């Protein structure tokens, strides 16, 4: 097939949407398809199949805010978008923003089927407006993106059943959805690594997630401060984002202040394999591949039981969960797993079967089939 993938956000692999896009692009190319990509990532200029548009200018204040978050939005250019979708068998967009809406308009004129990924939870957007807890604002967001983008699709890719149910319940209609995990690269696996000597005698607790409000890092910091083992626990936060300074300040109260890193894939795999426990305190989450990557490396997770997070469904045992935003309850879970290493080892064995259903190649085979089905159904109709 000729597949055009539209990326309002693409750049450094520092957020879930970009990583999902890069994985899809790579997988479809490996399966022999001709893949074209529309984005504003200047580092891709001149690369085969990439069509580069300018970055969206939203004014100095918002531009600085987006840069601090490590993202840039794309500004549509009709000529470039037209070139990228001309002759495509299917156009797949990742998010429902301006570049994608231009591609939708042009694809419909040419009778090209549209598919989309659902990678933007309402709270990911409304939190930037300080409205993440507003049911009205979140409902308006979902109704808006249905009206301007998703209602045009023959197929919609949902990474979890949780986000499909949330979206369909809010807009009060069934959608042509396919629930397919974004997939975990099988490079993430248990391996023997030499532990950094600086961690000698330490209990290494890891969390991978953007340094943003909805990831709720502060609850983990506070929980460590309440733990019986606070003097031995070393937190490691893998990620970047606008809250780093605030989190560093909050972490100064700990005997071992948290470390902050942005790892390459191989370095992250190494770090996970030398860790003792993985905690995912995020309040808002569509899937959390980061948590699955940690589980794939043999770590037992402790997950926030948040009604707005799909990650809670990764728990195989109630001991994998703690009360959402409750530092005291999380501290009790940390202490429990530190004091019961044999039970932790047994649970890690149970998780081996769980991660197989999220294996990357299997998920990408299903994504390819979704695109085939969309083209077939569109032309049949």
Question: What does the pLDDT look like over 169-186, one tens digit per residue?
Answer: 999 999 999 999 999 988
The model's pLDDT over 110-168, given as tens digits with 9 standing for 90+, comes to 999 999 999 989 998 888 778 888 999 999 999 999 999 999 999 999 999 999 999 99
In this prediction, residue 70 has a pLDDT band, given cuts at 50, 70 and 90, of: low
> What pLDDT does residue 89 have?
97
Q: Are residues 202 and 350 in the same domain?
A: yes
Q: Are residues 249 and 136 in the same domain?
A: no
The model's pLDDT over 212-226, given as tens digits with 9 standing for 90+, comes to 888 999 999 999 999
Q: Are residues 94 and 112 in the same domain?
A: yes
Domain harbouring 242, CATH code: 3.40.50.2000
- Kindly state whether residue 135 falls inside one of the protein's structural domains: yes
Range of the domain at 313: 197-356
In this prediction, residue 189 has a pLDDT band, given cuts at 50, 70 and 90, of: very high
Q: Are residues 89 and 151 in the same domain?
A: yes
Q: Are residues 36 and 178 in the same domain?
A: yes
Q: Are residues 235 and 259 in the same domain?
A: yes
Q: Are residues 70 and 219 in the same domain?
A: no
> What pLDDT does residue 297 have?
95
pTM confidence score: 0.89
Q: Are residues 28 and 176 in the same domain?
A: yes
Q: Is the pLDDT of residue 12 over 80?
A: no
- Kindly state whether residue 342 falls inside one of the protein's structural domains: yes
Q: Are residues 227 and 342 in the same domain?
A: yes
In this prediction, residue 61 has a pLDDT band, given cuts at 50, 70 and 90, of: confident
- Kindly state whether residue 309 falls inside one of the protein's structural domains: yes
> What pLDDT does residue 190 have?
93
- Kindly state whether residue 192 falls inside one of the protein's structural domains: no
Q: Are residues 214 and 317 in the same domain?
A: yes
CA distances from 246 to 69, 78, 127, 210, 211 (A): 14, 41, 17, 13, 10
Total structural domains in the chain? Answer: 2
Q: Are residues 232 and 324 in the same domain?
A: yes
Q: Are residues 150 and 231 in the same domain?
A: no
- Kindly state whether residue 190 falls inside one of the protein's structural domains: no
């Amino acid at each position: 097939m000729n597949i055009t993938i539209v990326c309002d956000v693409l750049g450094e692999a520092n957020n879930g949407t970009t990583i999902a896009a890069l994985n899809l692009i790579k997988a479809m190319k490996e399966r022999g398809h001709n893949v074209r990509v529309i984005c504003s990532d200047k580092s891709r200029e001149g690369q085969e199949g990439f069509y580069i548009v300018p970055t969206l200018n939203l004014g100095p204040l918002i531009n600085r805010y987006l840069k601090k978050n490590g993202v840039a939005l794309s500004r549509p250019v009709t000529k470039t978008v037209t070139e990228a979708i001309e002759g495509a068998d299917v156009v797949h967009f990742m998010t429902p923003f301006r570049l994608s809406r231009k591609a939708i308009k042009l694809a419909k004129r040419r009778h090209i089927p549209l598919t989309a990924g659902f990678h933007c939870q309402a709270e990911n957007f409304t939190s930037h407006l300080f409205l993440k807890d507003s049911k009205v604002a979140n409902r308006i967001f979902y109704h808006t993106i249905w009206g301007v983008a998703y209602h045009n699709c023959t197929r919609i890719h949902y990474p979890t059943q949780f986000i499909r149910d949330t979206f369909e319940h809010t807009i009060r209609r069934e959608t042509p959805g396919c629930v397919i995990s974004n997939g975990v690269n099988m490079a993430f696996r248990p391996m023997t690594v030499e532990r950094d000597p600086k961690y000698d005698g330490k209990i290494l607790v890891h969390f991978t997630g953007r340094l943003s409000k909805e990831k709720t890092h502060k609850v983990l910091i506070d929980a460590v401060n309440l733990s019986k083992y606070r003097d031995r626990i070393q937190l490691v936060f893998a990620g970047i984002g606008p809250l780093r300074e605030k989190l560093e300040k909050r972490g100064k109260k700990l005997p071992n202040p948290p470390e902050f890193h942005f790892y390459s894939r191989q370095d992250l795999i190494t770090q996970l394999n030398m860790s003792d426990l993985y905690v995912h305190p995020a309040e808002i989450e569509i899937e959390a591949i980061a948590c699955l990557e940690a589980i794939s490396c043999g770590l037992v997770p402790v997950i926030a039981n948040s009604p707005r997070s799909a990650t809670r469904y990764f728990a195989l045992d109630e001991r994998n969960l703690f009360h959402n935003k409750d530092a005291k309850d999380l501290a009790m879970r940390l202490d429990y797993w530190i004091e019961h290493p044999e039970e932790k080892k047994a649970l890690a064995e149970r998780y081996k079967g769980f991660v197989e259903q999220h294996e990357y190649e299997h998920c990408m085979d299903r994504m390819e089939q979704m695109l085939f089905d969309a083209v077939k159904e569109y032309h049949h109709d």
